[in-house]
Amino acid sequence: MAYQLGRILESGFGYQPVAVRVGAEVWDKTKHRYEQEFPIVSVQDMEAIIRKDDLLVANPSFSRHMFGIRIPGKKISYVQHFNSFSLLDGRFDHYVACSKFVQNFLLSTYGISAPAIPPYVEADTAVRSPWTDRAANSVFTYLKGPHNIATLFFDRLKEIVGARAQFVHTVNAMTLSRHDLLEKIAECRFFLSLSPAEGFGLVPLEAMSVGTAVVGLDSFGGRQYFRHMENCAVASYPNIEEVAAHLIMLCQQTKTAMAIAERGQETAGQYTYQRYSDAWTSYFTRTVGLLPISSY
């Protein structure tokens, strides 16, 4: 999402984006494919070259650097998580939440009033297949977060569900490209999300976009778009037994499951790039005070 903000700032406001690399991380081009590449600098180089007329956009995992009080320029924190930092850098100029849950978290914990601008999904029609053509009771299992929690929950759920579902578990789902991941999800009727905590939860929404019925934990941030028994079947952490009951019920009630998958696809269709771009363009103009190129 930060990459897209760079594109919006470049095309709409004339900025020249630079990506900041953390540590020795390497851009995996097999997983992340971008239309254009930005120059890449280290955190140390960024600190040396940034000036008061520059704009820094960072997620809250950078909080340990305390950029807010140390470096010049305008600083925006796009808070896409609530659990990727121990203490939020409270000295940024602006904060934007990725969901209403994170918005409430910022207000109740730090007294920060921030607008919520959710991420977007782009449906990949190339990996879509009719729900009825998919194997009956087939489940793509998505594990994310603390490995011990996800594994314990998955094992407990399998004990309860037993042979009622055919689990397709891709251990290395996080290493797949977006297209390959959605292709595998679209082979199944159900997407089982066992991520206990996320600021938004993008992958379940992407699963909705390819017509797969989502079952699982709401991960807190997923409450932005989850509507239980309308476009999904979810429970709150740590109620894994409730999740198992939902999966069993949907495996038995095909028409209900199919209707949930269809409404999920409609929900995903509301989270477009255009909506995301328009919201950020408005925010940059009205709140941050940037001048669009068209006004020059």
Neighbours of 186 (CB within 10 A): 21
At residue 147, the pLDDT reads 76
* Dist. CA 246–CA 169, nearest whole Å: 19
1-32 burial, b at 16+ Cβ within 10 Å, e below that, comes to: beeebbbbbeebbebebbebeeeeeeeeeeee
At residue 148, the pLDDT reads 83
Q: Which residues pair with residue 193 across a beta bridge?
A: 142, 216
Indicate the pairing of strand 138-142 with strand 166-169: parallel
Neighbours of 255 (CB within 10 A): 7
At residue 145, the pLDDT reads 79
* Dist. CA 144–CA 61, nearest whole Å: 17
Answer positive or negative: Cα dihedral of 220, 224, 225, 228: positive
| pLDDT average per 10 residues of sequence, the chain (296 residues) | 91 94 63 72 94 95 95 96 93 98 98 98 76 95 85 94 88 73 93 95 95 97 98 97 98 97 96 96 96 77
Query: What 3-state DSSP class applies to 275?
Result: helix
Compute the 3-state secondary structure of the chain and give helix, strand, coil in percent, each to the nearest 5: 45, 15, 40
Condensed to tens digits (0 to 9), the pLDDT of residues 4-34 reads 999 999 999 999 999 998 776 655 555 556 6
Condensed to tens digits (0 to 9), the pLDDT of residues 36-55 reads 789 999 999 999 999 999 99
Q: Do residues 204 and 222 make contact, with C-beta atoms less than 8 angstroms apart?
A: yes
Q: Do residues 73 and 53 make contact, with C-beta atoms less than 8 angstroms apart?
A: yes
Lookup result for tokens 């594109």: 7
- At 108, list the tokens: 């109740």
Phi, psi of 289 (to 5 degrees): 85, 25
* Dist. CA 215–CA 37, nearest whole Å: 36
